[in-house]
């Protein structure tokens, strides 16, 4: 794997960024990893758009969950799912 062509290296970075997406969005990454992801997002439009889309979606879902008068158990389950991604 040490002689990977540039394309697959790039792909690998994208894959690593995407693997950290959920943790990144729920602010559960280590600071170093968060920095890595952020610097990748600045270089990679594809990942930036994906992260932005997911973040917007999560925000919308959280707002909806906040508005709905759901029984506590259900609400906690939904929040748990959101947190887990």
Q: To the nearest 10°, report the CA torsion of 42, 46, 48, 54.
A: -170
Does 47 contact Zn ion by CB under 5 A?
yes
Near Zn ion by CB under 5 A, which window of 21-29, 45-53, 64-72, 73-81? 45-53
Rounded distance, CA 28 to CA 36, Å? 14
Does 37 contact Zn ion by CB under 5 A?
no
Which of 29/47 has CB closer to Zn ion?
47
Does 44 contact Zn ion by CB under 5 A?
yes
- Running DSSP on this structure, what letter comes out for residue 64? H
């Amino acid at each position: 794997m040490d002689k990977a062509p540039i394309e697959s290296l790039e792909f690998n970075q994208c894959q690593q960024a995407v693997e950290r997406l959920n943790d990144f969005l729920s602010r559960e990454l280590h600071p170093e990893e968060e920095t890595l992801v952020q610097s990748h997002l600045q270089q990679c439009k594809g990942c930036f758009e994906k992260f932005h889309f997911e973040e917007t979606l999560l925000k919308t879902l959280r707002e909806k969950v906040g508005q709905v008068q759901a029984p506590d158990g259900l609400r906690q389950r939904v929040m748990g799912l959101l947190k887990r991604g």
